[in-house]
């Protein structure tokens, strides 16, 4: 497997440099892989327990009146590099979307990178078919289109869509929507508690969802956490072996090892081009 991964990285490096890029793209890809694996994205790329996850957020300066970018060259260059790096992480089961937030904050327009598990997202749409079909979404709607439609929806049901996609239990999705509707109607914030699922980098503040004040974890919450902890244990075991040796792009190699069925497909496809 080690030889296979090293061969894949050589092919990816060749692909990057063939487009006039340098090891900077591989370094960025390694950094993004670390953000995914060390945080809640792990639960997305390892089988889709969490259909989508946030990878990073970033911002560009805009004019506070016109909301035009102060310089188009800066976002163009940074986004080109980002998309190139994400291309080294994307494969048939796993994809990425880079979206601006609908809401503008002062003199900044904030973007986020989302990682998604294709089949897991489609399964959520199938499970909640009527809800999504009302919004013109079906299981074969392109996922970047689904997420754009969700982000730029001004209605409260957008919170339900996000709840499904971020992997919240059904009761938490209901509370998420009901609390948003109450706050919109009354301007009154609904008090709440939070349930936390640890990730590699921290125990709280990553995979987290709101529940009513005083709520005690039920079977659905316990089962979700147990599934996540099993995946986290597998990851930590693999990580210990990858971090113990001198690797130039340790998290990029580890990323492909964690999704090795897809790694093998890409490796074979890359070889067929030569």
Q: What is the pLDDT of residue 259?
A: 79
pLDDT at 272 over 70: no
Query: Using 50, 70 and 90 to split pLDDT, how confident is the model at 23?
Result: confident
Q: Tokens 């919170």 label which residue?
A: 159
pTM of the predicted protein model: 0.86
Q: Which residue has the higher pLDDT, 65 or 35?
A: 35
Measured between its terminal Cα atoms, the distance across the chain in Å is 21
Q: Smallest Cα–Cα separation from 25: which of 80, 98, 96, 91? A: 80
Q: pLDDT tens across 100-143, in order?
A: 998 887 888 899 999 999 999 999 999 999 999 999 999 999 99
For 90-93, which contacts have Cβ atoms below 8 Å and span 24 or more sequence positions?
Answer: 91/259, 91/262, 91/263, 91/265, 91/266, 92/118, 92/262, 92/265, 93/48, 93/117, 93/118, 93/119, 93/259, 93/262
Q: Which residue has the higher pLDDT, 267 or 78?
A: 78
- Looking at residue 152, what DSSP letter applies? T
Q: What is the pLDDT of residue 14?
A: 53
Quick one: average pLDDT of 231-237? 94
Q: Is the CB of residue 179 less than 8 Å from the CB of residue 192? A: yes
Give percent of the chain above pLDDT 90: 65
How many angstroms separate the CA atoms of 269 and 138, rounded? Answer: 30
How many angstroms separate the CA atoms of 128 and 113, rounded? Answer: 25
Q: What is the pLDDT of residue 270?
A: 45
Count of H helices and E strands in the chain? 12, 5
Q: What is the pLDDT of residue 274?
A: 33
pLDDT at 154 over 90: no
Q: What is the pLDDT of residue 46?
A: 92
3-state DSSP of 23-89: HHHHHHHHHHHHHHHHCCCHHHHCCCCCCEEEEEEEEEEECCCCCCECCCHHHHHHHHHHHHHHHCC
Query: Using 50, 70 and 90 to split pLDDT, how confident is the model at 8?
Result: low
| Other CB atoms within 10 Å distance of the CB of residue 156 | 17
What is the Cα gyration radius of the chain? 20
| Other CB atoms within 10 Å distance of the CB of residue 202 | 11
Per-residue CA distances from 255 to 32, 42, 88, 89 (Å): 10, 9, 11, 8
Q: What is the pLDDT of residue 244?
A: 64
Quick one: average pLDDT of 147-172? 94
Q: pLDDT tens across 42-71, in order?
A: 999 999 999 999 999 999 888 887 788 878
């Amino acid at each position: 497997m080690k030889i296979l991964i090293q061969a894949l990285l050589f092919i990816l490096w060749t692909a990057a440099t063939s487009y006039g890029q340098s090891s900077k793209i591989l370094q960025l890809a390694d950094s993004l892989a670390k953000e995914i694996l060390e945080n809640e994205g792990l639960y997305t790329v390892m089988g889709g327990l969490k259909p989508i996850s946030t990878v990073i957020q970033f911002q560009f300066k805009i004019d506070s009146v016109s909301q035009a970018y102060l310089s188009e060259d800066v976002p163009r260059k940074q986004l080109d590099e980002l998309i190139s790096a994400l291309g080294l992480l994307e494969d048939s089961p796993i994809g990425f979307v880079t979206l601006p937030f609908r809401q503008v904050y002062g003199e900044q327009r904030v973007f986020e990178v989302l990682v998604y598990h294709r089949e897991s997202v489609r399964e959520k749409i199938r499970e909640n078919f009527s809800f999504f079909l009302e919004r013109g979404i079906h299981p074969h709607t392109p996922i970047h289109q689904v997420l754009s439609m969700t982000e730029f929806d001004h209605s409260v049901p957008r919170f339900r869509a996000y709840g499904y996609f971020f992997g919240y239990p059904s009761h938490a999705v209901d509370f998420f929507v009901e609390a948003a509707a109450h706050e919109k109607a009354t301007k009154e914030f609904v008090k709440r508690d939070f349930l936390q699922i640890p990730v590699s980098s921290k125990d709280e503040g990553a995979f987290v969802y709101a529940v009513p004040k005083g709520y005690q974890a039920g079977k659905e919450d316990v089962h979700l956490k147990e599934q996540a902890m099993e995946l986290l244990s597998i990851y930590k075991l693999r990580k210990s072996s990858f971090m113990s040796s001198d690797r130039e792009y340790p998290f990029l190699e580890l990323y492909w090892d964690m999704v090795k069925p897809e790694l093998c497909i890409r490796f074979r496809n890359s070889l067929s081009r030569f």
